Chain A
Amino acid sequence: MTVLRHPNNNGVTLSQWRKTAAGGETSLSGTDDFSAALAYTAGAEQVFVNGVLLERGVDYTASTGTTVTGLTALVAGDIVTVSSPSAFNVANAIPKSTVTTKGDLLAATGASTVTNLPVGADGTTLVANSASATGMAWAGPSVAAGKNYLINGAMDNWQRGASFSATGYGPDRWYCTVGGSAATFAQETSVIPAGSRYALKWTAGAASSYGQIRQFIEQAAVIPLRGQTMTASAMVQLGSSYSGTLQFEIYYSTTTDTITSFSGTAVSITTTTGTPTIGSYNKITATFTVPSNAVGLYIGIVPSVVQASGVSAYIGNVQLEQGSVATAFSRAGGTLQGELAACQRYYIRYGGNTSYDIVSFGAGNNTQLVTAQQSFPVQMRIPPIIAEYSNLIISDSVNATITVSTVASDTAVTSTKIFRGNFYTAATTVVPYRPYTINTVSSSGYLGLSAEL
């Protein structure tokens, strides 16, 4: 009888030949009680008499593959069994050398044909692709709006300007802090991460100075993340003569998400990867768990030590995502327009484009005041509480324009969808009830409204 213990054509089968002795036999061959012919792999066979395993070369000889000789004469009724595995079929085994490096995969190019599918680039996804020999290909990285909890991580939007030298908001959503006595923060267009248009560059403006950037995340986003493992990542490059390193600094607050009253506690970072390098961009990451009572949270990128005057650092493609793996960068808003809209939830600046950009519409209130209003392109986080302005004029499109001296919002209009402001002038030439536009008087004129944290 032949028993297939492992019915795998490429593996091992175990055959069993069993026969009842007539008595006196000292050799075995031919068919057994089940009409199966004796066949074994010499050297791998096992011979049993009444279940007792015999010793090869002592109790019997088996070298031909079809006969067993040298047995002590069997007694009638003895049950003799010859068991043997088949030869391992190495011809169909897959050589280990098919794969050559970390992440390689085995893939079929057809029936019974296997090849190496080399590992894809970071962040790519394996997808079916009938045009490929293996039927699969690495695609992407894919962009997923909303994956990144940091807005303007690629430093795309600079509504407030392109260079800053004081502590405050710089590129949209990024709060820049001057460390030491002087530092500048500027839009960088040449030393940028691959796949980006801009980066942020800070430069120490004096000895023992440095720059820090932080993004505060509002509680509506923080609270759902309580207890979640998060990974922050950024592309960073150090300028020449940079000292120490550049690292993530993550703080949380149990009471507020706003900067003005943020009394924070450091979040324990469990894992960091990547090393900032002078002269080339590297990705740095930090993995942590959002505390269970967090209300506010900020992600900062800060130097480890103070810097000499003139030393710079470059930062781009900053991301915060769920999980413990830093994946390829995605904009929070998915697209440039989506990212701008996400920024304008916190800050919007009108004007700054042409000499006479119209920023608002209103009517004369008294001889020194025009009350004007305009809708926001996206609903703001809260009614804007800070107005920034420069070089604004009042115009009725006929007479000489009137310079705006002061802008004060109407706090009675607590809307996140529309702004109502009072535009004052030192002149006394405003005509009550006359319709007016509020214009910029030069390309540097603007009206900015802030609902930032």
Chain B
Amino acid sequence: MENVSFIKVAGIDGVEVEHAIIDRGNGEFTSMTKATYDTLLSNSSIPQAGE
């Protein structure tokens, strides 16, 4: 089961950017900016064929 948390990370310029941390539940994690995460979440997947 995936578990998503959000953290704010200060960059080298001192500006904080919100990140999404996705816990895959099997010891594997994925992180990306929250903006990227929201984009991935909102877009539907590519066309499905074969049916």
Contact = CB atoms under 8 A, between A and B. Distances in A.
B32 A385 contact: yes
B37 to A, nearest CB: 9
B31 A177 contact: no
Interface residues of A, number: 40
B4 to A, nearest CB: 12
Contacts of B51: 179, 305-306
A264 B11 CA distance: 36
Nearest to A209: B50
B39 interface: yes
A21 B39 CA distance: 105
B51 to A, nearest CB: 6
Contacts of A420: 12
Contact of B29 (A302, A306, A407): A407
Given A210-B50, A386-B36, A413 B45 contact: no
A413 B10 CA distance: 11
Contacts of B7: 406, 408, 424
A270 to B, nearest CB: 19
A177 B12 contact: no
Given A386-B32, A388-B30, A411 B17 contact: yes
Nearest to A446: B28
B46 interface: yes
Contacts of B21: 406, 408
Contacts of A261: 39, 43
Nearest to B37: A386
B27 to A, nearest CB: 5
A406 to B, nearest CB: 5
A302 B49 contact: yes
B29 A303 contact: no
Interface string A248-262: 010100000001111
B12 to A, nearest CB: 5
Nearest to A307: B50
A388 B50 contact: no
A389 B32 CA distance: 12
A249 B39 contact: no
Nearest to B49: A302
Interface of B: 7, 9, 11-13, 15, 17, 19, 21, 27-33, 36, 39-40, 43, 45-51
24 contacts: A167-B45, A210-B50, A212-B48, A212-B50, A214-B46, A249-B47, A249-B49, A260-B39, A260-B40, A260-B43, A303-B50, A305-B51, A306-B50, A388-B28, A388-B31, A389-B31, A406-B7, A407-B31, A408-B9, A410-B9, A411-B9, A413-B11, A413-B12, A424-B7
Given A386-B30, A406-B29, 4 more contacts: A306-B50, A390-B29, A408-B19, A409-B33
Interface of A: 167, 175, 177, 179, 210, 212, 214, 249, 251, 259-262, 264, 298, 300, 302-306, 385-391, 406-413, 420, 422, 424, 444
